Structure 1
Amino acid sequence: MTRRGLLPALALLLVTGACTADSAPGFKPGADGAGDPYFPRYGNGGYDVAGYDLDLRYDPATGQLGGRATITATATQNLSRLNFDLAHLTASRITVDGAAASGSADGDELVVTPATGIPDGRRFTVVVDYAGVPGQLENKALGNGGWIKTTDGGIALGQPESASTWYPVNDHPSDKATLSLAMTVPDGLEVLSNGVPGKRDTRDGWTTWRWAERSPMASYLSTVVIGQYRISTSTHNGKPMIIAVPESMPATGPAARSLAMTGQITDYLASVFGPYPFDANGGVVVTDNRIGYALETQSRPVYGPTFFNGDETNPGVVAHELAHQWFGDSVALHRWEDIWLNEGFATYAEWLWTEHSGGESVQRRFEQSYASTDWRQPAGDPGPERLFGAAVYERGALTVHALRKTIGDDAFFTLLKTWTTEHRDGNADTAAMITTAEQLSGKDLNDFFQSWLYGTTRPPTP
């Protein structure tokens, strides 16, 4: 994510169901949270999702969203019932493996009780029919995120949570899953989402757009953007490159010219981080001023309008969000306290790109930031209210460069590619980064990381 303003929190819902059954001996409910210290009720326990298959319809005139979510998962305990995160929307029918299940609302949670318990290790399918008027989640510290109704459509976007405002989900990055979307909207509107585009159908004044992200994805990285867009479709390194700019923006304006650099910047980052990790690439620009940030939505970042004021291009923000495709998307977090692994490396990628393209050197940028940073704020474990604070970005990037200077270029650039290869499509944490850096450098780095990530005074430069 590139900071300019931020996002989400919690919401509400209601649900009805059919027959229910009490748990058998040895079966118990899944937890109503994933156990994240920062956001205890984000996500849920007791199961692991493999994929979401969404078949939805959205009417911008009324703001109504409705349809069906088919969720494939595996039980990680003997489950008597399970929760999904769902906000503002109401489920009308739920089945588990084809049998009617009961559902109830608990704040922003959909509580599903299957007719019989689900044994540990069993793969199962939940189908939820639901509808309502989606909205945003409110978080006083982080801002709003989720579904935004626009003048010509809608946008689903937000970090650290947003997916629950448009589909039932295990809304925590520790449970990554694939996503398939069929979104039906009135003719004349475009739909952008994650992954590879599929077949498009038009019938009775409505068009169904299809998208599929086949690599596992943290739920906050899912997005849908509906409106009137100028879409450019090409192929880059054998993969679809899809770039969308609102029709209201100039076809050759700074936004379009900036996103046209996506392929070039991706190629450079791949030379540093290893092969680009997804089946598609691109980006979407939005004009709604409520979105004062850019977000690394998987395979197709979304950029708010604030980055393209004036006449100049902004390749830095493109480099930042594309770097996240490796650091944050392909390799996601276990817990939000390690957010520096996402933002520190993405900010450092901006520095690398600037130097590579003939601008200010990385060392000079390091020196300037080192002199101006508030060292009282940690980059590691910053606290939920400072999740997107300056320390996470700037001090995170300073830590990355200081690590480079400490272990040397050979070990450092090997570290980058080793990290993205070993943890591809998975999750990792700061402890794993320290272990990998120590193994590749042969150095004890615990004191280094303690000073640069968690200390409250300025560490000496390497």
Structure 2
Amino acid sequence: MRARTRTGLGALAAGVVSVLLAGTASAAPAPGAPGVGDPYYPNAGNGGTDVLHYDIRLTYQPATDLLSGTTTLLLTATQDLSRFDLDFALKASSVRVNNRPAQFTNQTGNGEFVITPAQPLLKGQTATVVVAYADTPSTATVDGLNAWKKGSFGALGIDEPQSSAWWFPANDHPTDKATYDVSIEAPDGDAAISNGTLVRKTKQRAGWTRWQWRSTKPQATYLTSFIVGKYEVVESTTPDGKPYINAYGADLGDSLYAAKASVERTAEINEFLGTQFGPYPFEAEGGVVTSGIGFSLENQTRPTYGARNFRAGSNTTLIAHENAHQWYGDSVSLGRWSDIWLNEGFASYAEWLWSEHEGEGTVAELAQYTYDSNAADADLWKLVPADPGADNQFDNAVYDRGALTLQALRTAVGDEAFFKILQTWHAQKAGKDGRILEFIALAEKISGKPLHDLFQTWLYTAGKPAVGPNGSVAAFRAAAAPAPASVKPRSYDQIQANHRFLAAEHAG
């Protein structure tokens, strides 16, 4: 039966009422998205939440690989939420949201951990989320992968772009950084190492020691480290008074002294990098050397180095690379994983800066030799650093061609503008994240020069760029008078080896 239609003022009044009601009614709380929308990793991170702090309190038994404990997240809802996701691969036993038991789905196969609180979270509301769990990380997978490292060296929760899912639930994307308290109980005789400051070590029961670490500056999830095993832990302070903690695996053998000759110079290297990039951005310094990985990673305040990087002797260019990340990659994180050049190109350039400082080849020499050593059909020129693809994020082109891009920029704008660009980029973005186009805009603003063609050539276009007085980019030699290109800078082979090691396991 057809309803009768209202006419005249009655219809108008009804329409006004309906519009007013529509304008005042709020939408029902909705589920948060399972990811932040990163094209490379669609399920990375989560929509609808902003984590402020992680309190991670764990017990780990290396003999059985059993990891148990709780993670408490303090987070803010960025929308009205009926439920929300975290990224987590282990089996949970309970979840509480604001002290009330919450429903949860342990989707361990794809790493999505879905929580439905007893009451919806409203936009702007701060919530306390407590997840209790116990599992063996070496048996857990996310999309068929496992990032946990377990062996005679102990255990490592270290990898890039993802590693946190194997030891704590998180909003696992660099755009959501938080502060941390990490407390790990391990058997006596094992060290338990993480980031920031070692607040204290305590014994609460026979045979076990608890190590408590605190990170007070915003920190990305993949830069947060879990290291348990037999390590020599060396505690001291830097010349300016910061906690300075280094650790060396008990199984380093003949490489131990070369590792120490490198890592123990971290404070000196950071002091030099500070003259190039601005003040060191964090509250502690140090490094860990382990046989458990072949690559190295810029874990915040305390990079982790694969022991094989020191087989041929000391390797301070690697220390410079990973600690340059403390500025570019850690303090200033990438906004999308496709922006990886902002991390690796900058850290690779720092290797050249350190080599020049040590008298082992000027930046101009290293750039020119890298350019000359790769023919027009070399793999280095086939990949574009601005968008290498998820499978090629750690390709040598991102490192070497990325560093060449910065040298091309330096040659084009001059030293004064170049270092002002680098320092301003960090100063403006410290504790936040950035995108490549934002960096390009800043470079143009500071230099006062149009740089579109330069970046288009070096970052966005496959093929070997032309270099020379009449080429598309000014010669690398313009700012210096290096030796002929046929003379290899002394640090060149070591830097290339570093980049191969850095990329090897990521590619696998």
Rounded Cα–Cα distance in structure 1 between residues aligned with 2:190 and 2:223:
22
Deviation at 1:377, TM superposition (A): 1.2
> Structure 1, residues 391-447: CA drift from partner, whole Å, max 9, x if none?
100110000100000111010011111111110011001011011101100011112
- Is 1:324 the equivalent of 2:305? no
Deviation readout 1:268-315 (Å, 9 max, x if unpaired): 000000000000000000012xx11000000000000120103x2100
Q: Counterparts of 1:173-322 in structure 2 under 5 Å? A: 173-202=174-203, 203-236=205-238, 237-249=240-252, 253-288=257-292, 291-310=293-312, 312-322=313-323
| 2:33 aligns with one of 21, 31, 34 | 31
Provide the residue aligned with 1:392 in structure 2.
398
- Match among 65, 77, 80 for residue 78 of structure 1: 80
Is 1:145–1:159's contact at 8 Å kept on the other side of the alignment? Answer: no
Q: Which residue of 1 aligns with 2:167?
A: 166
- Give the structure 2 partner of residue 14 of structure 1: none
Q: Distance in 2 between matches of 1:331 and 1:405?
A: 24
Select which of 357, 371, 382 maps to 1:376: 382
Larger Rg: 2
Say which of 98, 108, 126 aligns to 2:111.
108
- Out of 449, 453, 458, the residue aligned to residue 452 of structure 1 is 458
Q: Over residues 126-168 of structure 1, what are the superposed CA-to-partner deviations in whole Å (9 max), with x where a residue is unaligned?
A: 001111001277799xx96632222252111000000011010
**Mapping of residues 66-145 of structure 1, within 5 Å:** 66-87=68-89, 89-106=90-107, 107-135=110-138
Is 1:336 aligned to residue 342 of structure 2?
no
CA distance in 2, matches of 1:438, 1:185: 51
Query: Which residue identity lines up with residue 193 of structure 1 in the other structure?
Result: S
Query: Which consecutive unaligned segments of at least 5 residues does structure 1 have?
Result: 1-23
Distance in 1 (CA, whole Å) between partners of 2:140 and 2:45 is 15
- 1:147–1:157: 8 Å Cα contact kept in structure 2? yes
Unaligned segments of structure 2, at least 5 residues: 1-25, 468-473, 475-508
CA contact (8 A) 2:111 2:142 kept: no
Q: Structure 1 residues 145, 360: closer, same or farther in 2, change over 3 A?
A: farther
SS in 1 for 2:39: coil
- Give 1 or 2: higher helix fraction: 2
Q: How big is the shift at 1:192?
A: 1.0
Instruction: Give the total of aligned pairs.
Output: 433
Secondary structure, in 3 states, of the residue corresponding to 2:148? strand
Check whether the contact 1:234–1:242 (CA below 8 A) recurs between aligned residues: yes
Compute the TM-score of the two structures, normalised by the length of structure 2: 0.83
**Which runs of structure 2 are paired with 1:34-45 in the superposition (5 Å)?**
34-45=36-47
Instruction: Indicate the percent of aligned positions where both proteins have the same amino acid.
Output: 44
8 Å Cα contact 2:178-2:219 kept in structure 1:
yes
Aligned residue type for 2:365: R
Q: Structure 1, residues 300-341: CA drift from partner, whole Å, max 9, x if none?
A: 00000120103x210011000000000000000110001001
In 1, Cα distance between the equivalents of 2:398 and 2:381?
A: 11
Corresponding residue of 1:437: 443
Question: What's the CA shift string for 1:34-79, capped at 9, x where partnerless?
Answer: 1000110111111111111011000112111010100011111100
Q: Secondary structure at the match of 1:135?
A: helix
Of 402, 409, 426 in structure 1, the residue corresponding to residue 408 of structure 2 is 402
Q: Distance in 2 between matches of 1:113 and 1:330?
A: 33
